[in-house]
Amino acid sequence: MAIWFHGTTKENADIILENGFKAGTFFGKHLEDSIHMGGDCVFEVFFEKSPTEYWEYVCPEAIPKTKIRSLIGYSPKVSFHSDQVDYEIKKIHIKEDYDDQVVICGTCRGRGQMENYPPLTRWSEREKVTVCDDCNGHGARTIDGSDIYDHKR
């Protein structure tokens, strides 16, 4: 017997509650992975036996809603957050990924967004926050003004 997790957005959670999971859905063995990679609404899903020994499982077939044990909404309360550490991490990532072809955006200082939200941590959040116009939410911009993805190796 095993309980595996699937994190998603509130909107998708409502659809899953109604229809169950589609084939090809990702499940995580650990709660924190599911929150981080999927979203704050996390399903606990019952499996007769653990489907894999790995931490992640892509289910090849649909799973009916009767296998859902619970749906829990997590809302972390951030008591402290360092923009300076984010900035240092971003500098290292940019150096690794792009070498000297891009620079950290001076407008948002690498945060990728303009409002006073917690930093972007996953793709699904990008649509919900006001991203920086100068770097389009990437936290960095190219030296020559082209799209940052053109430079990704």
Positions in the binding site for Zn ion (CB under 5 A): 105, 107-108, 132, 134-135
Taking the least distance from each CB to Zn ion, the nearer of 42 and 120 is: 120
User: What residue spans of 29-148 are helical by DSSP H?
Assistant: 31-37, 83-98, 123-126
Measured CA to CA in angstroms, residue 49 lies from 21, 53, 55, 78, 152 at distances of 18, 11, 14, 36, 41
Q: Check: CB of residue 17 under 8 Å from CB of residue 65.
A: yes
Taking the least distance from each CB to Zn ion, the nearer of 41 and 104 is: 104
Please state the closest distance from residue 86 (CB atom) to Zn ion, in A. Answer: 13
Please state the closest distance from residue 36 (CB atom) to Zn ion, in A. Answer: 23
Taking the least distance from each CB to Zn ion, the nearer of 16 and 135 is: 135
Please state the closest distance from residue 134 (CB atom) to Zn ion, in A. Answer: 4
User: SS3 for 79?
Assistant: coil
For residues 112 and 17, what is the distance between their CA atoms, to the nearest angstrom?
33
Taking the least distance from each CB to Zn ion, the nearer of 71 and 103 is: 103
